[in-house]
């Protein structure tokens, strides 16, 4: 014979199971959690109008965080390669971090210089270590070229 205590325990188990299933704990979610997910993009990277060899320069990246909450300790990688694909500059000691408020924000990237004149490929990757589950992981890379005189 079922008692009130048995029904109470059964009700708690059902509620706990429903919560776990809805949160995606069992690998299947209700979809409600996707309403306010992170998505980071790099809108652009600006460089000085003229970059001379051996002169220090600082690029400025424009990041976008579409979530209604800020994101902290978002990793990024900043790499410059020459025409032969050799890395001429990359963030030292692993990727750097940036704090991303909601919406559009700009951040100065690390100061660097290049020793030779020529055309270089620049690649900036946001959420480099994939710490954040994003709606679209395919928009985390921005590539452009710069000329050094």
The residue segments making up the domain with residue 24 are: 1-34
If one counts the domains in the chain, the total is 2
CATH of the domain at 94: 2.60.40.10
Q: What value does the mean pLDDT of the chain take?
A: 85
pLDDT at 91: 86
Verify that 5 and 74 share a domain, yes or no.
no
**Which residues fall within 8 angstroms of residue 63, CB to CB, at 6 or more apart?**
40, 41, 42, 43, 98, 100, 104, 105, 106, 107, 126
Q: What pTM, to 2 d.p., does this model score?
A: 0.74
pLDDT at 29: 44
Q: What is the pLDDT of residues 68-126, one digit of tens each?
A: 999 999 999 999 999 999 999 998 766 799 999 999 999 999 999 999 999 999 999 99
Verify that 24 and 75 share a domain, yes or no.
no
Verify that 28 and 60 share a domain, yes or no.
no
> Rounded to an integer, what distance in angstroms lies between the CA atom of residue 87 and that of residue 6?
66
Verify that 78 and 121 share a domain, yes or no.
yes
Residue 3 pLDDT greater than 70, yes or no: no
> Rounded to an integer, what distance in angstroms lies between the CA atom of residue 59 and that of residue 78?
10
Verify that 25 and 43 share a domain, yes or no.
no
């Amino acid at each position: 014979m079922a008692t009130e205590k048995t029904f109470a325990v059964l009700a708690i188990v059902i509620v706990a199971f429903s919560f776990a299933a809805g949160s995606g704990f069992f690998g299947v979610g209700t979809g409600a959690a996707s309403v306010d997910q992170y998505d980071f993009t790099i809108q652009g990277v600006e460089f000085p109008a003229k970059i001379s060899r051996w002169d220090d320069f600082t690029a400025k990246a424009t990041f976008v965080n579409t979530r209604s909450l800020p994101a902290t300790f978002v990793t990024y990688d900043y790499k410059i390669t020459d025409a032969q694909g050799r890395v001429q500059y990359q963030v030292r000691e692993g990727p750097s971090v940036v704090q991303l408020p909601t919406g559009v924000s700009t951040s100065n990237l690390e100061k660097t210089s290049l020793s030779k004149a020529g055309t270089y490929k620049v690649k900036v990757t946001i959420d480099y270590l994939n710490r954040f589950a994003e709606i679209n992981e395919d928009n985390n890379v921005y590539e452009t070229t710069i000329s050094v005189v």
